Chains A and B, each alone.
Chain A
Amino acid sequence: MRHAADRSTATRLSVPSSDCNSKTAAWPNGAIDRGSVSAGLDTLSAMLDNMSIQNTTALETTAPVIAATSLRKSFGDVEAVNDLSFSVAAGQVVGLLGPNGAGKTTTVNMLATLASIDAGSASIGGFDVATQPDLVRQLIGLAGQSAAVDEKLTGRENLELFGRLYKLPGQERKRRAAELIDKFDMADFADRVAGTYSGGQRRRLDVVAALVAEPPALFLDEPTTGLDPRSRAEIWDAITQLASQGTAIVLTTQYLEEADRLADEVLIIDKGVVIASGTPEALKRNLDRDVLEIHVDEGDMASSLELIGGIEGLVTSEAERRIGVPVGDDIASSLEVLRRLQDGGVSITDFQLRRPTLDDVFLSLTGAPTEQEEVPA
């Protein structure tokens, strides 16, 4: 019953809306002719398609599989985790999103019985993590940063090693290893020593090794950090598949996109504190505002502002002859802005469509000063 209460108190903070300062260009710099503008717009529309959300539907069950209540942990004077609460139901993916040192790994380590809990409580399948670690360990799988596979064993041997440690009978663990190898497309490399694997192969083995005993609770600590896009997509597919089979998953990541793609609920963590949480849709609505940034010829600044100055949220920098137009994810408004300027005789020297990076999200959420820009009222 306590768990039900945890769920409601867990999240849903309001998220301050992002300002439009973005630093990372998702758009190549350079002079632009009509051809490249239209090619660019195709890319833009492809980008927007990719952003569509593909969440698995959360299965609502009465008791969460994973429940964390007011977790705290400090190392000396450093508060690594400060009052963190969340819960994960069967089939649900909760994403912990934050930069290095945010406290994501510490949180996972506490839940996976690797680190002691200073204050607060956590339970897995109803068992208390601090007082019943032996029981909890029978219910969890851990992969990623905090756990490693054995580089001197083959992939298959690694899986069988974990099968043995989970006390699966001999036949069963062989069958299980073979099944996982087959299911996650590892046949090509399963009988090579893991030390020879590529980053993607190793990470796949790492995640799959956590699945040997089909744990109802799975912790994936930055499972795709440093991977190439193809390997990342494969791991994503695996995670989606597991969630659809009812595994409760805690996923830590530094990538907004990954949390967006996989998580039913996202907690944005900075310095051990949850600074925002909610569904990816809710967070995106507030944070993910694209900015069309336009550079114009010297002397065209005034006429540009005359043409498009009425748009709300415009950010201009006279010195750099730069105008930032918040366009959301609306292609038509980007096109409209560019067309209006061009028709008005403004010479556009460059434009970029910028997406807020995780940095920007943090800056906007933590209220730290951003780049100096004049923001018209």
Chain B
Amino acid sequence: MTTSTETTISRPAVLANPSAAVRVRRALQDTNTVLWRDTVRTLRQPDLLFFAVIMGVFFLVLFNYVFGGSIGAGAGIDYLGFLVPGVLVITALQGAQQTSLGLAADLTEGVTDRFRSLPMSQVAVIAGRTIADAVRNVAGLILVAVVALLMGYRFASIGGAVGAIALATLIGYGFSWLGAAIAVKVRQPDMVGMLSMFWLFPLMLASTAFAPAETMPGWLQPFVKYQPISAASDAVRGLADGSPAGEDILLALAWTAALLLVFGPLTVSLYKKEQQ
């Protein structure tokens, strides 16, 4: 197309009453655009991926070599085999915290305000980000799995490895929406950071990610067994080991669905209400 100095752009005509199909198509287009934006940002901040991975590696190394002896001997299991699936889940949850922090930064720096002034789907702002975080999570999970392999861990099969990473990504995606809800509600990045630790730490430690439930006190066991991080850890463990884990997988999927059903609409309505 040749341009003259007096160009007029073919600005899209004002769309008065888009049909549902058009609205969905445009929302998907916007989600894709935000995904592109957040992915470019991720690629320009390799430190974000690095920190997500390094936490996983820390957990692998510290738990395996520091606590591994006592936990493994106590429960009579191969601790590295037990630990790796748990660490994959925890790594995916770190990704959910990035959703929180990234969205809080956008909210306070005026980026979402600009988005809000544009003719775009506002849900896409959050959907695009959570998907971008999930994509980064896959990269982080693969890197953590490689470190596990170097430490001597072996997946039962390639299919099992893919399934384990996919399920960890999925549960991480569910938690991303919890992170998004916190960010939209609280906004201030430092407060958001603290609140993210607030849910993550107790859930993470009182779970079967690092130690079998049987080693914990009886009164805690019901909680430990059924809470989402345990469900996810057990399910990922089943996929990675090739051991039967149908129930755990169902429970993990149910938790993911529950997180999405609760925090998806909640986040969107909070975000829309965020209008001052």
Tell me the A residues contacting B by CB distance below 8 Å.
Answer: 75, 106, 109, 112-116, 125, 134-135, 137-142, 145-150, 152-153, 157, 161-162, 164-168, 171-172, 175-176, 179, 193, 209, 213-214
Assuming A115-B276, A179-B3, is B12 touching A167 (CB within 8 A)? yes
Answer whether residue B7 sits at the interface, using C-beta atoms and an 8 A cutoff: yes
Contact status B117-A113, CB under 8 Å: yes
Chain B positions within 8 Å of A140 at CB level: 117
Q: Which residue of B lies closest to A167 (CB)?
A: B12
What's the least CB distance linking A126 to chain B, in Å? Answer: 10
**Which one of B1, B14, B40 contacts A157 once the chains associate, using CB atoms below 8 Å?**
B40
A152 touches B41 (CB 8 A): yes
Query: Contacting chain A: which of B25-33, B80-88, B224-232?
Result: B25-33
Instruction: Chain B residues near A153: list those with CB within 8 A.
Output: 37, 40-41
Please list the residues of chain B having a beta carbon within 8 angstroms of any beta carbon in chain A: 1, 3, 7-12, 14-16, 26, 29-30, 33, 36-37, 40-41, 44-45, 109-111, 113-120, 275-276
A211 CA to B116 CA, complexed, in Å: 16
Are A139 and B14 in contact, with the CB atoms below 8 A?
Answer: yes
Q: Across the interface, which residues of B come within 8 angstroms of A175, CB to CB? A: 1, 3
**B15 pairs with A142, CB closer than 8 A:** no
Contact of A162 among B10, B12, B16, B118 (CB under 8 A): B118
The CA-CA distance from A147 to B115 in the complex, in Å, is: 8
B11's contact among A125, A148, A152, A213, by CB below 8 Å, is which? A213
Residues of A within 8 A of B11 (CB): 166, 168, 213-214
Closest to B34 in A: A165
List the B side residues contacting A168 at CB < 8 Å. 9-12
Docked Cα-Cα span, A175 to B45, in Å, equals 28
A150 touches B12 (CB 8 A): no
Contact (Cβ within 8 A) A114 B117: yes
Q: Which of A75, A115, A152, A179 contacts B40 (CB 8 A)?
A: A152
Provide the bound-state CA to CA distance between A312 and B234, in Å. 91
Whether the pair B120, A148 counts as a contact (CB closer than 8 A) is no
Measured CB to CB, the closest approach of chain B to A217, in angstroms, equals: 11
Complex Cα gap A167–B33 (Å): 10
In the complex, besides A150-B41, A152-B41, A153-B37, 5 extra interface pairs with C-beta distance below 8 angstroms are A137-B118, A142-B114, A148-B114, A165-B120, A168-B12
Q: Cβ of A148 and Cβ of B33 under 8 Å apart?
A: no
Nearest B-chain residue to A142, judged by Cβ: B117
Q: Note all chain A residues with C-beta closer than 8 A to B37.
A: 150, 153, 161
Contact between A114 and B116, CB atoms less than 8 A apart = yes
Closest 8 CB pairs of A and B: A148-B110, A147-B114, A142-B117, A137-B119, A138-B119, A115-B276, A164-B33, A152-B41
Q: Is B9 touching A112 in the complex (CB atoms < 8 A)?
A: no
List of B residues within 8 angstroms of A135 by Cβ: 14-16
Please indicate the chain B residues that have their CB under 8 angstroms from the CB of A171 in the complex. 1
The one of A139, A161, A193 that contacts B33, using a Cβ cutoff of 8 Å = A161
| A116-B275 CB under 8 A given contacts A148-B113, A150-B41, A152-B40 | yes
A213 touching B275, Cβ below 8 Å: no
Q: How many Å lie between the Cα of A155 and that of B246 in the bound state? A: 50
Q: Which residue of A is nearest B110, CB measured? A: A148
Q: Is there contact, CB below 8 Å, between B9 and A172? A: yes
Chain B contacts of A75 at CB under 8 A? 276
- Are A134 and B275 within 8 A (Cβ)? no
CA distance A135 to B118 in the complex (A): 10
Give the residues in chain B near A148, CB-CB below 8 Å. Answer: 109-111, 113-114
Decide if B10 touches A109 in the complex (CB within 8 Å).
Answer: no
Q: Provided the pairs A113-B117, A166-B119, A179-B7 are in contact, do residues A138 and B276 lie with their beta carbons within 8 angstroms? A: no
Among candidates A115, A166, A172, residue contacting B118 with C-beta atoms closer than 8 Å? A166
A-B pairs with beta carbons under 8 Å apart, 19 shown: A106-B276, A114-B113, A114-B275, A115-B276, A137-B120, A146-B117, A148-B110, A148-B114, A152-B40, A152-B44, A161-B37, A162-B118, A165-B33, A166-B11, A168-B9, A168-B11, A172-B10, A176-B9, A209-B114
- Among A109, A125, A165, A179, which residue has its beta carbon within 8 angstroms of that of B276? A109
Q: Which residue of A lies closest to B273 (CB)?
A: A116
What separation, in Å, do the CA atoms of A157 and B41 have in the docked complex?
Answer: 11
A116 touches B41 (CB 8 A): no
Q: Which residue among B41, B118, B275 has the maximum number of chain A CB atoms within 10 Å of its CB?
A: B118
Cβ–Cβ < 8 Å partners of B7 in chain A: 179
Task: State in angstroms the CA–CA spacing of A106 and B16 once bound together.
Answer: 27
Q: Which residues does chain A contribute within 8 Å of B109, judged by CB atoms?
A: 148
Which A-chain residue is minimally distant from B114 (CB atoms)? A147
